[in-house]
Structure 1
Amino acid sequence: MLTNELVLGSSGFAPLDSIYQLVAFLVLMLLLKKFAWAPLVKMMKEREDYVANEIDSAEKAKQEATELLQQHQQMMKEARLETQALIESAKKQGELQREEIIQTARSEAERLKESARLEIQQEKENAVATLKEQVASLSVLIASKVIEKELNEKDQEALIQEYIKKAGEER
């Protein structure tokens, strides 16, 4: 019983057991600190760094995407402006060509009109000259016929009508 009392003490509390438990607890804490806590803290730190890097990467990617979007929008705006400028230029060029075509057509029409007028004038002059020649030859013919015979007024009128008819047929 004596051993029992020494181990348990008088009140059932054994100081050696407490010391043994305290030493075991401290050893366990040291072992946990060395083999579990340090790797756990290291793993948590790595995880924290990884998450922070991923957040930074995501923010950078978001910023780059925003910049790319702005660049794309700017390029689209510039492309719209260039397209609008090209359309306006094409319209102006079309107007200039239209005016040039109209002016050329008017000039050509005026030239053709003048050419036709000159041709008509020439034909008229030719017709007048031919008529003069015919009248002259008819006059000479009539004069020679009149000289050959004395005609009364009725015969002279018939003769004139006959020569006019002949002149019309020759033409």
Structure 2
Amino acid sequence: MKILWENILITMIAFVILYWLLNKFAFSKLFAVMEQRRELVLGQLNEAKQTREQATVYVEEQKDALKQARQDAFEIIEQSKQSSSKQAHDLLEQAKLDALRMKNEAVRDIESERNKAVEALRTEIGTFSVNIASKLIEREVENNPAEQEKLVNQYLDEVGKKS
């Protein structure tokens, strides 16, 4: 194989001319497009990084909000328990007071009714006693006029002493 120096020289000259033409017309535009592409990719990477950081911050905020919501819910439940416990205690105390009041009223009513019954019995016993006494005195007086005068005098003496 024989090396043809002329072909190598022509190829080199063609290569230099091609390189010069490409450098003058194509490489600057090609490099400018590649630079724009690189800047676009870097911008998208920075944007993605910022978005990821924002998402991380947002996730942390959501975790804190969820934690706060759970704490608030727990406090509300505790307040509800305390409130219901207090209401139950208040209702129980009110029921005790009502029962005591009703018992006292019942005792007063019973005492009042007992007093009325005793008074009614006294009245009836007094009436019966007077009737019995009058019948006995009637029999005594009818049989003995001296006894009648003695009773009248005794009565007048007692009335005189009272006034």
Compute the TM-score of the two structures, normalised by the length of structure 1: 0.72
**1:34 aligned residue:** 24
> Which AA in structure 2 matches 1:132?
R
The number of residues matched between the two structures is 138
* Identical positions, percent: 30
Runs of 4+ in structure 1 off by over 3 angstroms are: 12-15, 20-25
Greater RCO (Cα-Cα under 8 Å, separation 6 or more): 1
**2:71 aligned residue:** 81
> Which AA in structure 2 matches 1:125?
N
**1:91 aligned residue:** 81
Pair 1:13–1:106, CA change in 2 (3 A): closer
**2:147 aligned residue:** none
Q: Does 1:25 align with 2:20?
A: no
Q: Does 1:53 align with 2:43?
A: yes
Q: CA deviation at 1:123?
A: 0.8
Unaligned runs of 5+ in 1: 1-11, 151-171
Q: Secondary structure at the match of 1:90?
A: helix
Report matched runs for 1:21-170 at 5 Å.
22-149=12-139
**Distance in 2, Cα, partners of 1:146 & 1:111:** 51
**Distance in 2, Cα, partners of 1:14 & 1:111:** 133
> Which AA in structure 2 matches 1:130?
A
Structure 1 residues 44-80: Cα deviation after superposition (integer angstroms, max 9, x where no partner): 1111111111111111111111110110011011000
Tell me how large the CA RMSD over aligned residues is: 2.3
